[in-house]
């Protein structure tokens, strides 16, 4: 397989453009990611599901191919592309049918390492970014706690300043890449009682092996089984003061800013999943015989799948438009919230119907659609529950 050259996706040939939003660089990237998925993910994904994680060798291979630094500076080995390129990556990883693998990669590229890239000091970036882009260091973001999910202001993990150090105490849960990660971007309270909640959260970079950081059990999940997910515990975890990411008290805003990117990425991943499910189901319906003819000949089935395809296309264009708005520097909070709510619900609607059309086979663990249906369930929860996203849209209606 030919490696993707860093920063040079410029020879996509004469293939017609998929969309007005994309150029030749985007299309070449799409082709390269799709070929990687076919060659290296699909043949091995079931083994990764069994072992409960995506191998580090695969992530390093993705780093070699230029997939882990799409939007990062060339000085660190990145390609300096845009939000639409991230959408291309996420959509194609979603199409792999192994969403545990996909989320392992996307947490590293677009939900965790961004805190280092955007808020890290020059020393922090010089130390870590090249390894992050190369896949030699894998990142996790640790915000969620047993009592705080979408409500970031409610976190209870604390970081107190002690001379030239910070000391962290608390716990995190549902942390993707928590077991095998190397760098944790951790949200902790630094404010005093009575401070505004939005000004009392800071972000810190904690390295694997730091005394006082304990990685708890790997969590047993309903889906996304080829991603590792863990509890983290901080008990008198002392880190250098220079491990603060950005300014003290600005962590909440950093998290909120990146939520916009994270939600577009999750939406694109969901669209890739839904499209793959429709294609798998269409193949099944055209080959499965019932009552003397292929199931695809049944009008009710054809109409249902056609409407789902229309909805997926509508969701895809919403994702693309939100990503394009971000490339223009526009405030896309409403559109991004729509993406997360719509695509998270849609992928579950698609999976339900596709599993139904597979009949008894769809209920068997041996079927691809059964695994995909389990993986999709979290799409309306993780990264901002549908109900929270719709509140964000509602608050901006009529303004």
- Residues annotated as part of the active site: 262
Structure tokens of 209?
Answer: 């092996």
Helices within the chain (DSSP H only): 24-36, 45-51, 56-64, 83-94, 99-106, 113-119, 122-134, 251-287, 299-327, 333-357, 368-376, 386-396
* Bridge-based pairing state of the strands 183-189 and 229-240: unpaired
CA distance 245 to 207: 13
Phi, psi of 77 (to 5 degrees): 95, 10
Q: Concatenated DSSP letters for 220-264?
A: --SS-TTS-EEEEEEEEEEEEGGGEESSTT-HHHHHHHHHHHHHH
Q: Closest Cα to residue 141, out of 245, 59, 267?
A: 245
3-state secondary structure of 289: strand
CA distance 77 to 69: 7
Phi, psi of 269 (to 5 degrees): -60, -45
Q: Closest Cα to residue 246, out of 234, 256, 260?
A: 256
């Amino acid at each position: 397989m030919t490696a993707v050259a860093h920063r040079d996706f410029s020879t996509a040939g004469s293939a017609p453009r998929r969309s007005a939003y994309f150029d030749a660089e985007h299309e070449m990237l799409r082709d390269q990611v799709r070929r990687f998925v076919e060659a290296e993910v699909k043949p091995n994904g079931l083994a990764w599901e069994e072992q409960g994680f995506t191998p580090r060798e695969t992530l390093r291979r993705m780093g070699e191919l230029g997939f882990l630094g799409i939007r990062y500076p060339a000085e660190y080995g990145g390609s300096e592309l845009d939000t639409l390129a991230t959408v291309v990556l996420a959509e194609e990883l979603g199409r792999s049918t192994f969403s545990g693998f996909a989320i392992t990669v996307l947490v590293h590229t677009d939900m965790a390492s961004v805190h280092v890239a955007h808020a890290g000091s020059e020393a922090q970036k010089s130390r870590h970014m090249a390894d992050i882009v190369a896949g030699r260091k894998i990142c996790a973001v640790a915000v969620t706690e047993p009592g705080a999910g979408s409500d970031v202001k409610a976190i209870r993990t604390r970081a107190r300043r002690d001379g030239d150090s910070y000391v962290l105490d608390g716990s995190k849960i549902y942390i993707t890449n928590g077991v095998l990660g190397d760098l944790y971007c951790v949200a902790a309270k630094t404010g005093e009682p009575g401070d505004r909640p939005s000004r009392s959260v800071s972000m810190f970079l904690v390295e694997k092996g730091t005394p006082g950081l304990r990685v708890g059990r790997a969590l047993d999940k309903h889906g996304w089984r080829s991603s590792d997910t863990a509890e983290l515990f901080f008990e008198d975890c002392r880190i250098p003061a220079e491990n603060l990411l950005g300014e003290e008290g600005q962590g909440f805003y950093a998290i909120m800013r990146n939520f916009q990117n994270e939600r577009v990425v999750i939406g694109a991943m969901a669209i890739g999943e839904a499209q793959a499910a429709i294609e798998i189901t269409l193949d099944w319906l055209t080959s499965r015989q019932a009552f003397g003819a292929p199931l695809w000949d049944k009008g009710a089935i054809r109409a249902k799948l056609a409407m789902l395809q229309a909805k997926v296309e509508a969701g895809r264009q919403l994702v693309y438009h939100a990503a394009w708005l971000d490339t223009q520097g526009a405030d896309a909070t409403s559109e991004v919230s729509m993406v997360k709510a719509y695509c998270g619900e849609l992928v579950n609607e698609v999976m339900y119907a596709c599993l139904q059309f597979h009949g008894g086979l769809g209920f068997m663990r041996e079927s691809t659609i059964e695994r995909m249906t389990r993986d999709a369930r979290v799409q309306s929860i993780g990264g901002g529950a549908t109900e929270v996203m719709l509140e964000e849209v509602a608050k901006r209606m009529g303004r």
